[in-house]
Amino acid sequence: MALPIGTVLDGKFKIVQILGEGGMGTVYKVEQIGTPPGTPPYYYAVKELLISPNTSEEDRKAAIDRFNKEIALLRGLKHPRIAALMLPFQERGNYYFVMEFVPGRSLEKILETSKGPLPEEQVIKWMVQVCEALTYIHTRNPPIILRDLKPGNIMVSLDDEVQLIDFGIARRFDPNKRTNTENLGTISYASPEHLGSITMPGQRRSAQNPGKLVQTDARSDIYSLGATMYHLLTNYEPDPIQTPPQGSVLAKNPRLRTIQLGNKTLCPVEQVIIKAMQQDPAQRFQSAEAMRVALTQCLPNAAPTTIQIPAISPSSTIIVQPVGNAAASTAGGIICPKCGFQNRAGAKFCKRDGQPLIQGMTIAPPQIRAQAARAPIQARPVQQPVQSRSIPSQPIKARPVQSNGSMQARPAQPIRARPVTTPAATDPMVAYRAGLQALANKNYTEAIRQFMLAKNQGVAAYDALYNLGRVYRQYGQSVREANPRLFKENMKHAAEYFEEALRVKPDALDARFQLGMCYRDLALYPLAMAAFKKAQATAPDDPAVYYQLGLVASEQGLTSEAVSYLKQGLEINPDHALILIALGRIYTDMKNQLPAAISSLFHATQIDPTLWEAWYELGRAHMKEKEWNHALSALRRAQKVNINSASIYSAMATCFFNLKKKSDARQMVSEALQRDPKNAEAIRLQKQL
């Protein structure tokens, strides 16, 4: 329990505000007593370690040891970008230390207030300062690894000066260790080394393949800094242990600066993020100073440059099977990281949700999919009540600063008490990571079991609920054609979990987007529209949201509304091929809009010539204009990409029939009916021929 306002500590520090509190203690803003009359008050931050009388002697000693280690670390640090330690003391049986107090806000609070990506140039300047602080601690002897770098632990003063806070889980690097004693940190920003070991891309972590033992080092903080930049510049929390694919950062924030090198358009700051977040530490920036230099080259007045990203696929992760050759590309499609839909090999946007696709993420081989289908998820596990995280791992949530002016107090370092050694069997992150791996391998039953276990063991409720929703949704998509009933049941369960996740975190964009997708798949259009409109309010610059709004409106027959949403999406990203196709399809069915339809669809074919739907719809638009030769040309391009679509052949048959080439028309009808004996257009033409 926090001490009352006005309490005096150590005879000279009066508590004036509670900055944050957690299960193991509190952080206070205090005023120094006894300052001369007429002089401004001196403020400090005091961090308290409160040990419950019910705590075991072993846990008590461990908590005190961690608290003293943090003091020892801070005592030796003197840097303008690190809050200075003043003095430790004990009172009432509790442990305290006094730190420098700096007014300001954390980047997490700034991001929450902005409700969108932060300005690129400002973010770069802040991150340059963070690199300066990291360079300082990384070059200590021995080096100090922060291990929990994230927006909430980076403070910005009123004059835009950055300071790092929370050294609660920092450690001194020991070259004689093979792995960490404790694997801690916030999972969204944690490097693969935080797991204690790393596996090669495409390999599954298991008892037989535990991976290469590693410990966190300076390059682990580099990864976390890249993940922090990703969040600040996109307003999307990074996916755990994932390297962003090329183009994904720019897709989420089209305002980022780009440069033209030859015939390529590149985003310098995106290259920095991708390199910093490589799975293999050897492929990242090897020092904070190297990353600082790269960041300075991303500023608008810097000379055009590129960051050398490793030759390995930047989208490769420890849980994704990369495409190694052309055969692999044609053997399987690309999985959408958001909805799990299987797209064609080489697709740039997910056909179902319009998200940019991760090149190199492949589907499981047919025999694995068949095995999954033979053991379907028939029923949702009994849902346990949403449980809060256990107190020992709960970070302090900073309270709103009560201030008469615009100045806000900087939350001092939160209490973060942790078990010294957590057995793997009871560590919720072990189950959580196993769930992520099982989901990536399409072992849906195991993924549900692991996420439920992680939830019951105390992993963050939102993370567990959100991923349970993902499992049910992706499994439902995998059986959509084979078992419509099972598809519908799993989609309902997915929606329930996303709804629960949103009750825990109402502003979570990803859960809101997924919920809208579930409603749309269930043809619950009013609910889908409401979900996507809330997503739109959270992310007004995300073209994928407008794509979904357009599809939902179109599927309800609201043509003008659909066109409006799709046009808004194109204002954000004029080269979004799927939006162009959707808009072209609508224009094709509208009176006097065929020229606009042809223009939109032709634009889509130029953006992605391998997108067969664009060529097919373009062919259909030309057919409406009775431009049979132009239509045939477009349909032939569609056929080259997709030789198995009956619709393409039946459309070509119609063109040949109208060109009086009945022999060719008969052949196309035959091709169409071989692929789909129920193709209505082919059956009608067969009767006429």
CB burial of residue 383 (10 Å; 0-12, 13-18, 19+): middle
The one-character DSSP state at 188 is: G
- Buried b or exposed e, range 628-650, using 16+ CB within 10 angstroms: bebbbebbebbbebbeebbbbbb
| Three-state SS annotation for 567-618 | HHHHHHCCCCHHHHHHHHHHHHCCCCCHHHHHHHHHHHHHHCCCCHHHHHHH
Chain-centre distance for alpha carbon 457:
23
C-beta separation of 204 from 441 below 8 A: yes
C-beta separation of 528 from 512 below 8 A: no
Is position 78 annotated in a ligand binding site?
no
The region that residue 678 occupies, defined by phi over 0 for left and psi between -120 and 50 for alpha, beta otherwise, is: alpha
C-beta separation of 477 from 504 below 8 A: no
Rounded to whole angstroms, how far apart are CA atoms 366 and 342? 12
Tokens for 404? 């008469």
C-beta separation of 476 from 352 below 8 A: no
Tokens for 410? 């900087």
- Of 508, 543, 514, 544, the C-alpha closest to 528 is 514
Neighbours of 611 (CB within 10 A): 25
Rounded to whole angstroms, how far apart are CA atoms 572 and 561? 17
- Of 463, 521, 437, 454, the C-alpha closest to 487 is 521
Q: Which residues are annotated as a binding site?
A: 47
Q: Which residues are annotated as a binding site for ATP?
A: 47
